[in-house]
Amino acid sequence: MTVSNRGQENIENGNDAPNEIASQPQYNAQSQDEFKEGGYGWVVIFGVFILNAHTWGLNSSYAVFLAYYLRTGTFGASELGYAFVGGLSISIALLASPLATSLVGWKRCGTRRTIFLGVIFETIGFIGSSFASKLWHLVLSQGVSFGLGMGLCFVASASVPPQWFVKRRSFANSIAASGSGFGGLCYSLATNAMISNISLPWAFRIIAIICFVVNSVAAYLIRDRNAAIGSVHVAFDWKLFKRPSFLLMQAWMVLSLIAYVILVFSIVDYSQSVGLTASQASLVGALFNLSQGLGRPLIGLSSDSVGRLNIANLSTLFCGLLCLFFWIFGTKTFAGCIVFALLSGSVAGVMWATVAPISAEVVGLALIPSALSMTWLVLVLPATFAEVIAVSLRRPGEGGYIRVQLLTAFFYIGAFIFGWALRAWKVWELEQVRLEKEERELAIRDEGVLSSALETQSHNSDPRSQPSRRPFSIVKGLWVIERV
């Protein structure tokens, strides 16, 4: 009998589920026999790291392509048209999540083959871009094909790192996520150099060759534990939206993503708008990506010790305050732009480093693939139009970016508000079941145990006390100091 089945039996018999979880030796034996912290998991982390570097890292370098398109008018399109291509690649990647989730769950395909299929689409996208002569060619190649490939690679691999870790789950996941920062650094510098020295078409072809080789190796290294943990790969699990905690998580992700997309795609063009040269602006963008690569492991390391929701929300608030004050008042010089890039880059993409571990906190480890699939679908429209909105708000001349800066700052601060409400909900939830630190981690690993414990707790308590105690307990989580 599995742990989840025992938990369900406890509910039916009216037993105390939390105490049963903690006291059953079979549960601990199962944990030790079926799961070992790290091990081959570090190889998996390396594979996901280089995969992110050659998917999301490449996508970050679109800021360099965008600056080149705007400066030269290569395809004779409007500024909004070029901005739409960058947002489209992200939205297509997220829109591919149901397909990727279904392919991973299909026995004939699985994680590795899904990733390799994404590698093929990504390669086709860059080769097609090298022959593009009109904007719609670019939309189909650098937008749709590359976005589809990136989505298949990302969705198939995003839920794998948390499967190999418990105590160091956030740290390991953030190392994997930091690959996008280091990839963005390398490709931001390399793309600008290749375009200048060997032309735009050959830059695309060289990138295509590199991506195919490196990502194929990454696909071979990544190994999932879906069978061991009983992962549920349901592409459209609408029942998740009945959970208030999941809705709060979606609000945090949506607002964070809009702000992040605006910041990562606008920072190079903004630097040029305040008088920096193209090479100086490219360096600012590269340092922003470097800071992402260095900052995400630190976010993960601190998350495991201080709390995943604590660090995610404080980092979100810090980035919002940086945009509200530093970006507006302190980036009129080259040095100021560099300092802002280094500070903001370390926390700007905090949602990418923490979304999988936080999903484990909200829905349980087994439901991470389904939760992420629904999350990526929710993010499609925000990702598509975030940079389009930013470009439409931009004005020529000094202070032309003020509305973009304010919008970015307020979106980050709004994301913090929803994220902190999620933290308050989680504090209340953990207080209800009264589990110790290690027992909480084990409950999170086994989907349904924590919710079963809550349900049993509700059945065993006095119903008359629930309406008055529960709202106050949730509100108390807004200011209580606790590792969560």
User: Could you read off the pLDDT of 284-329 as tens digits, one per residue?
Assistant: 988 998 898 888 888 877 877 788 888 999 999 999 999 999 999 9
pLDDT score, position 235: 65
Least confident of 172-176, 223-227, 448-452: 448-452
- CA dihedral sign of residues 325, 329, 333, 335: negative
Residue 369, domain member (yes or no): yes
20 within some domain: no
Q: What angle do CA 39, 44, 46 make, to 5 degrees?
A: 110
Return the C-alpha torsion angle 109, 112, 117, 121, nearest 10: 160
Helix pair 97-105, 146-158: axis angle to 10 deg: 50
Indicate whether 29 belongs to any domain: no
Q: Is residue 466 within a helix (H) or strand (E), and if so which, with residue range?
A: helix 466-476
Q: How confident is the model at residue 3 (pLDDT cuts 50, 70, 90)?
A: very low
Residue 317 maps to a domain: yes
What is residue 84's predicted lDDT score, i.e. its pLDDT? 80
For the cut 60, the answer to whether the pLDDT of residue 443 exceeds it is: no
Least confident of 16-25, 87-96, 282-291: 16-25
Contact 303, 170 (CB under 8 A): yes
What average pLDDT does the segment 151-162 reach?
Answer: 86
Kindly state whether residue 15 falls inside one of the protein's structural domains. Answer: no
pLDDT at site 473:
61
Residue where the block lists tokens 């400066």: 71
Rounded distance between C-alpha atoms, residue 459 and residue 439, angstroms: 21
**Stretch 410-432: mean pLDDT:** 88
Q: What is the total count of domains within the chain? A: 1
Q: Look at the block and give the residue holding tokens 């199962």.
A: 30
Quote the pLDDT of residue 25. 36
At 252 the pLDDT is 96
- Distance in angstroms (rounded) separating the CA atoms of residues 363 and 206: 41
Q: Supply the range of the domain harboring residue 121.
A: 35-429
Residues 250, 244: Cα–Cα separation, whole Å? 10
Q: Do the Cβ atoms of 266 and 67 come closer than 8 Å?
A: no
Render the burial of 220-246: b for 16+ CB within 10 Å, e for the rest: ebbebbbeebebbbbbebeebeeeebb
- pLDDT for 232 beyond 50: yes
Establish if 5 belongs to a structural domain: no
- Is pLDDT of 199 > 90? no
Please report which helix (H) or strand (E) contains residue 229, including its range: helix 226-229
In this predicted structure, which of 87-91, 225-229, 240-244, 353-357 has the lowest mean pLDDT?
225-229
Crossing angle (nearest 10°) for helices 466-476 and 402-433? 130
pLDDT at 470: 56
Specify the higher pLDDT residue, 356 or 274: 274
- Long-range contacts (CB closer than 8 Å, 24 or more residues apart) made by 201-209: 201/130, 201/131, 202/130, 204/126, 204/127, 204/129, 204/130, 205/126, 205/127, 205/130, 207/58, 207/126, 208/123, 208/126, 208/127, 208/130
Residue whose tokens read 């999932």 = 224
Average the pLDDT over 115-143 and give the result.
91
Burial of 400 (0-12, 13-18, 19+ CB in 10 A): middle
pLDDT for res 436: 56
Per-residue pLDDT reduced to its tens digit, 35-46: 566 678 899 999
**Considering the domain boundaries, does residue 106 fall inside one?**
yes
Task: Reply yes or no on whether the pLDDT at 215 is more than 50.
Answer: yes
User: Rounded to the nearest 5 degrees, what angle is found at the Cα of 222, between the Cα atoms of 221 and 225?
Assistant: 135
pLDDT of amino acid 363: 83
Residue % of the chain over a pLDDT of 90: 28
Cβ count within 10 A of residue 194: 19
d(CA 153, CA 234): 18
Dist CA 277 CA 271 (whole Å): 8
Residue 442 scores a pLDDT above 90: no
Say how far apart CA 162 and CA 168 lie, in whole Å.
9
Residue 15 burial by Cβ neighbours in a 10 Å radius (0-12, 13-18, 19+): middle
Looking at residue 35, its pLDDT comes to 55
How confident is the model at residue 445, as a pLDDT?
45
Q: How far apart are the first and last CA of the chain?
A: 30
% of the chain exceeding 70 in pLDDT: 80
Binned at pLDDT 50, 70 and 90, residue 230 comes out as: low
Does residue 2 surpass a pLDDT of 80?
no
CATH of the domain at 243: 1.20.1250.20
Sorted by sequence, the CB contacts under 8 Å of residue 333 that are 6+ apart come out as 274
Separation of alpha carbons 428 and 32, rounded Å:
29
Does 166 fall in a domain?
yes
**Which of 94-103, 144-153, 469-478 has the weakest average pLDDT?**
469-478
Tokens standing for 276?
Answer: 């920096």
What integer best gives the mean pLDDT of the chain? Answer: 79
Across the range 424-438, mean pLDDT stands at 69
